[in-house]
Structure 1
């Protein structure tokens, strides 16, 4: 099965947007670690070995945060300056066909999809990663709902009810 050029560009854009989302999540995690180290530093004294190690950790974290922020902005810039993309608003603004797979709904916009569904971005990422059969439907009021399809009876229960 071959993939068309337009489809491959859409796929590349979706992958790039997902990478930007993952970099943003990494920066959030690193910022939490930095806050933890700074809190520990307060009680470490002035010229102790522990204080010097905590200072080194805080420095390393700030460098890594800057590197991730730079990588995210460079990726976003490259994506914006690349070949014209289909406007993603058409996916969100137009009425949905009956329903969309979560992977399609969240392609390149996991944070926005999470907000639309009222969940954390990590939940979207994990559901896609493990291949859960989740489908998103747009409601008449413009909100979104998600439904997961599972086999019945469950394969784990051996068919017993």
Structure 2
């Protein structure tokens, strides 16, 4: 690592610690140039994969877990579902898509529905009604029959 003070190419690590919630490393370094010997800090972190969501109309937009979170919160409104459960759904989805650069919205929606169906059928129906764009009461009836 090049010294930021004198440009000398050799440095040594004097201390290193895990940082940023376990996703990074902080290193204290010392310049080995006898005329400099200054200390400085470097950080190393995991490079995040840029993920994109493929919309129904073919548009691509950056993956935003907050959108999924808000959709789940809305579906779980006035239900006895804690934010820890919602966070675990988000974590499950992120884990499943971690190596994918592109993910279609229908796959994301299906993942959310699968998780909601396990924890609360009413929240599942609420989410599905928006996600599947229900147009009439028959759509609701069909889904309720399926859930029973």
Q: TM-score range by the shorter chain?
A: under 0.3
Give the structure with the higher percent strand.
2
- Larger relative contact order (C-alpha < 8 A, sep ≥ 6)? 1
Give the structure with the higher percent helix.
1
TM-score by length of 1: 0.23
TM-score by length of 2: 0.25
- Larger gyration radius, structure 1 or structure 2: 2
